[in-house]
A and B are shown apart, each in its own frame.
Chain A
Amino acid sequence: MLRLVRGSKALSLGVRLLSALSISIAGGLLAAACASAQVPDSTATLGSRAPRYVPHASAPAKPKAYRMHLHGGLFAPVDVNATSPTLGLRLGRRIVSHVQGGLLVGWTFERKNLEQPVNSLPGLQPQRILARADGQLVPAMAYLQVDLNETRFLVPYAGIAAGYEWLSLKVNDYRTGEAASATYTNFAWESWGGVGLRLGPDMTFDSELFYNGGSLERDVTDPSGQSYREAVHANGVGARVGVNFLF
């Protein structure tokens, strides 16, 4: 695993750059989304006897520029045997034909309990929770995605993203009452490839495999006063499915 070593200036600059970039893209997307909502509904005059679904021939000729991808799936870090559920969102804009770019966020959650059985009665068995550890991984990245076609039923695609990632760990030992938490952060990246099934002109159902790469770190001072840096490797693979809307 490669670990980046940076000075404080480089880190702060990177963080500021990422912040500025994100704010700019967010502002642009928001303004454009507000503007696009002003387009009148071309089907508002359809009566109740209209066909169940009207083909999108009446849609404006201008291609829809924005994409929203909502997805869910499973993520398996390489360093631990803990397949975790993950949810995510990609908001993007078509840059040129077949290419889109935007922002993605996600949330991956993993919980481990130390348990012991309560009784020996038949059926569902309650477990007493003796200790618990929760981990939450949140990426916020800018991405680029290439769709290999824009009209066919099957839409292969691939994408890459880079940005920042946060990992929050919380541990509770209910036997002793002790609790601890830590947050690890760093630059990270993600890539994915998959296939979409075109459900309509403005929608695909996507299935994809992805890889998340990052070494998230934090500063620690031990009881002797010496400072260390701790790292958690968030490298892992996952699979997810989602719906991609154009608007």
Chain B
Amino acid sequence: MLRTLPVRALSGLAAGACRALLPLLFALSLSLAFRVPAAIAQTGPELWSIQLDGGLLMLNEARGTSPRIGMRYSKHFTSHVQGGLLTGFAYKGASLEAPAAATPGGESHVELARTDARLVPLMGFMQVDMTDRFWLVPFVGIGAGYEWLRLITKDHRTGLESMVTYGNIAWEGYAGAGVRLTSRVRVNGELFYNGGSLEARVLDPDGSTWREAIHVNGVGARVGLDMIFE
């Protein structure tokens, strides 16, 4: 963490007065933020988008890729900016195997342990399309919200099974390009990054409670169909 340096004592600081500024600024920001939708009100019919996508996610802390499907549902605030909710589902399975003793050549394996992980994000997002005129539409977006990971482990050697659900605030950033098929439909190809450290409280066999974390940072690629409707 940040390094601290001792220096000679100075007089006291009116930190309370300074802290009072923060709520004031926050209130100001919120009040103006609520005015912005009025200020950038629709200049045409209300437009909404839904994107259905599929792709692969590669977590930094797990080998291999995981299939992933997702959906984004959003409102167009201007011709370039949209915001809404996104969700998805990614699956990662892994097993520990050993060659079956009776099989020559080792073509058959015995599963010793297995781990199944299911990742579900639910986030608010904002996306900026760089153009509303050309057939090729570069875009970037960012989402933040909550993410859940259910981890099911089975160790066939010991007979131990466990199912733990981890959750925490997480975020996602993505960038890509869309190819306009019609004025209302386009195919998007994008790279994305998922960031989060999902946590759960677990009980030890000795009765003590610990906090566990699973890091779900990773990159992925996905292709989606984006449809605009009123």
The reply to whether A80 and B14 form a contact with Cβ atoms under 8 Å apart is no
Is A195 positioned at the interface, with any CB of B under 8 Å from its CB? no
Partner of A174, one of B41, B43, B211: B211
Bound: A6/B14 CA distance, A: 13
The reply to whether B2 and A127 form a contact with Cβ atoms under 8 Å apart is no
For window 184-218 of chain B, which residues contact chain A by CB distance below 8 Å?
195, 197, 199, 202, 210-216
Give the interface segment out of B19-27, B67-75, B219-227.
Answer: B19-27
Is A152 positioned at the interface, with any CB of B under 8 Å from its CB? no
Chain B residues near A128 (CB-CB < 8 A): 210-212
Known contacts A16-B17, A124-B151, A167-B2; is A5 also within 8 Å of B10 by CB? yes
The reply to whether A123 and B92 form a contact with Cβ atoms under 8 Å apart is yes
The reply to whether A48 and B2 form a contact with Cβ atoms under 8 Å apart is no
Chain B residues near A37 (CB-CB < 8 A): 35, 38-39
The reply to whether B36 and A247 form a contact with Cβ atoms under 8 Å apart is yes
Chain B residues near A105 (CB-CB < 8 A): 22, 25-26, 29
The reply to whether A124 and B78 form a contact with Cβ atoms under 8 Å apart is no
The reply to whether B117 and A123 form a contact with Cβ atoms under 8 Å apart is yes
Chain B residues near A227 (CB-CB < 8 A): 9
The reply to whether A228 and B9 form a contact with Cβ atoms under 8 Å apart is yes
Bound: A50/B45 CA distance, A: 7
Known contacts A113-B213, A121-B153, A123-B62; is A203 also within 8 Å of B33 by CB? no
Chain A residues near B230 (CB-CB < 8 A): 48
Interface string of A27-61 (1 = CB under 8 A from B): 00110011011000101001010111110101000
Bound: A138/B110 CA distance, A: 54
For window 65-115 of chain B, which residues contact chain A by CB distance below 8 Å?
78-81, 92-96, 113-115
Chain A residues near B195 (CB-CB < 8 A): 85
The reply to whether B44 and A43 form a contact with Cβ atoms under 8 Å apart is yes
Is B177 positioned at the interface, with any CB of A under 8 Å from its CB? no
Chain A residue nearest to B59 (CB atoms) is A124
Give the interface segment out of A7-15, A143-151, A154-162.
Answer: A7-15
CB distance from A223 to the nearest CB of B (A): 14
Bound: A11/B230 CA distance, A: 56
The reply to whether B215 and A127 form a contact with Cβ atoms under 8 Å apart is yes
Bound: A117/B6 CA distance, A: 35
Partner of B31, one of A23, A30, A140: A30
Chain A residues near B22 (CB-CB < 8 A): 105, 138, 140, 166
Chain B interface, >50% SS class:
mixed
The reply to whether B7 and A229 form a contact with Cβ atoms under 8 Å apart is yes
Is B120 positioned at the interface, with any CB of A under 8 Å from its CB? no
Chain A residues near B81 (CB-CB < 8 A): 199, 203, 243
Is B179 positioned at the interface, with any CB of A under 8 Å from its CB? no
Known contacts A124-B59, A169-B1, A245-B40; is A164 also within 8 Å of B18 by CB? yes
Known contacts A50-B44, A82-B1, A124-B92; is A11 also within 8 Å of B14 by CB? yes
11 A-B residue pairs with CB within 8 Å: A26-B24, A29-B32, A80-B3, A91-B29, A91-B32, A110-B1, A124-B216, A126-B151, A219-B12, A228-B7, A233-B2
Residues of A within 8 A of B (CB): 3, 5-8, 11-12, 15-16, 18-19, 22-23, 26, 29-30, 33-34, 36-37, 41, 43, 46, 48, 50-54, 56, 58, 64, 66, 68, 72, 77, 79-80, 82, 85, 89, 91, 103, 105, 110-113, 115, 118-119, 121-129, 133, 135, 138, 140, 164, 166-167, 169, 171, 174, 183, 185, 197, 199-200, 202-203, 205, 217-220, 227-234, 241, 243, 245, 247
Known contacts A122-B95, A126-B166; 18 further A-B pairs (Cβ under 8 A): A8-B11, A37-B35, A64-B39, A77-B2, A80-B3, A85-B171, A91-B29, A105-B26, A122-B115, A123-B117, A127-B212, A135-B1, A166-B22, A171-B1, A200-B80, A219-B10, A228-B6, A243-B81
Which 8 interchain pairs have the tightest Cβ spacing?
A: A247-B39, A8-B11, A123-B94, A123-B115, A122-B94, A227-B9, A199-B80, A53-B79
